[in-house]
Amino acid sequence: MRYQITVRYGSTNHRYHTYFVETEDARAALEGAALEMPPEIVGEVDLVEVRVAPDPDSRSYIGE
Protein backbone atom coordinates (compact mmCIF):
# COMPACT_ATOMS: atom_id res chain seq x y z
CA MET A 1 0.00 0.00 0.00
CA ARG A 2 1.19 3.52 -0.72
CA TYR A 3 1.33 5.96 2.20
CA GLN A 4 1.75 9.73 2.13
CA ILE A 5 4.00 11.15 4.84
CA THR A 6 3.78 14.82 5.82
CA VAL A 7 6.40 16.17 8.21
CA ARG A 8 6.15 19.56 9.93
CA TYR A 9 9.45 21.11 10.97
CA GLY A 10 10.95 24.46 11.93
CA SER A 11 10.81 26.06 15.35
CA THR A 12 9.56 29.57 14.53
CA ASN A 13 8.28 29.28 10.96
CA HIS A 14 6.72 25.90 10.30
CA ARG A 15 7.50 24.25 6.99
CA TYR A 16 6.23 20.99 5.54
CA HIS A 17 7.91 18.16 3.67
CA THR A 18 5.73 15.54 1.95
CA TYR A 19 6.92 12.21 0.59
CA PHE A 20 5.62 8.70 -0.09
CA VAL A 21 6.51 5.21 1.11
CA GLU A 22 5.30 1.90 -0.29
CA THR A 23 4.77 -0.69 2.47
CA GLU A 24 2.46 -3.52 3.53
CA ASP A 25 0.86 -1.73 6.52
CA ALA A 26 0.83 1.40 8.71
CA ARG A 27 3.50 0.10 11.10
CA ALA A 28 5.92 -0.45 8.24
CA ALA A 29 4.95 2.98 6.86
CA LEU A 30 6.01 4.60 10.15
CA GLU A 31 9.34 2.79 10.01
CA GLY A 32 9.80 3.72 6.36
CA ALA A 33 8.89 7.32 7.10
CA ALA A 34 11.65 7.52 9.70
CA LEU A 35 14.22 5.97 7.36
CA GLU A 36 13.32 8.23 4.42
CA MET A 37 13.15 11.49 6.40
CA PRO A 38 15.74 13.98 5.14
CA PRO A 39 18.56 14.10 7.72
CA GLU A 40 18.79 17.90 7.60
CA ILE A 41 15.30 18.32 9.14
CA VAL A 42 15.32 15.47 11.70
CA GLY A 43 16.24 17.73 14.64
CA GLU A 44 13.45 20.22 13.86
CA VAL A 45 10.48 17.86 13.34
CA ASP A 46 7.54 18.28 15.71
CA LEU A 47 4.74 16.48 13.82
CA VAL A 48 4.54 13.51 11.44
CA GLU A 49 1.31 12.51 9.66
CA VAL A 50 0.91 9.13 7.98
CA ARG A 51 -2.10 8.50 5.74
CA VAL A 52 -3.03 6.24 2.86
CA ALA A 53 -1.94 8.09 -0.26
CA PRO A 54 -4.76 9.20 -2.54
CA ASP A 55 -4.97 7.49 -5.91
CA PRO A 56 -5.79 10.23 -8.44
CA ASP A 57 -6.88 7.65 -11.04
CA SER A 58 -9.64 6.33 -8.79
CA ARG A 59 -11.07 9.74 -7.83
CA SER A 60 -14.23 11.02 -9.41
CA TYR A 61 -14.22 14.54 -10.78
CA ILE A 62 -17.08 16.98 -11.34
CA GLY A 63 -18.42 16.73 -14.85
CA GLU A 64 -17.33 13.17 -15.54
Q: Where does the pLDDT of residue 20 fall: very low under 50, low under 70, confident under 90, or very high at 90 and above? A: very high
Mean pLDDT of the chain: 91
Q: 53 with 3: CB under 8 angstroms?
A: yes
The pLDDT of residue 54: 82
Is residue 12 in some structural domain? yes
User: Does 61 reside within a domain?
Assistant: no
Q: What domain count does the chain have?
A: 1
Q: Is the pLDDT of residue 36 over 70?
A: yes
pLDDT reading at 2 higher than 70: yes
pTM of the model: 0.80
Is residue 9 included in any domain, yes or no? yes
Domain hosting 6: range is: 2-55
27 found inside a domain: yes
Q: Is there a domain that residue 30 lies in?
A: yes
Task: Check pLDDT > 70 for residue 60.
Answer: no
